[in-house]
Amino acid sequence: MHGKGTEWKKDNASTLKELLGKWLCLLYCIVYAGFILVNVVSPKFMGIDFGSLNVAIVYGFGLIIFAIILAFIYNHVSTHAEEILNDNESEEEVAE
């Protein structure tokens, strides 16, 4: 017996979404790894003033806001891709 209980309609946008997801994830990983690296290699840099705040707080807030922005970009592109690529599809089901 298999756990999989639902058969979904074929998603022609899945390759594009997967590719986009991988690249955006990689991009975020690089920015996140940069944060860890700066903390370990040059902790003093984190304490430098950045207006009223400092680099640590700006980078930290930046990582949170960057994640939200990437999420919206991903959803926007994915939704459009699904609309365009799945628009005229028949009710074909994936044979898995």
The β-bridge partners of 50 are 53
Other CB atoms within 10 A of residue 32 CB: 13
State yes or no: residue 25 binds another protein (CB under 8 A). yes
Q: Which of 12, 16, 77, 82 binds another protein (CB under 8 A)?
A: 82
Q: Is 85 exposed, middle or buried (0-12, 13-18, 19+ CB in 10 A)?
A: middle
How far apart, in Å, are the Cα atoms of 5 and each of 2, 10, 79, 91, 96? 8, 16, 25, 18, 11
CB of 37 vs another protein, minimal distance in Å: 9
Q: Of 57 and 90, which has the nearer Cβ to another protein?
A: 57
Asked if 22 interacts with another protein (CB under 8 A), we say yes
Q: Which residues bind another protein (CB under 8 A)?
A: 1-6, 8, 11, 14, 17, 21-22, 24-25, 28-29, 32, 35-36, 39-40, 43-44, 46-47, 49, 51-57, 60-61, 63-65, 67-68, 70-72, 74-75, 78-79, 82, 96
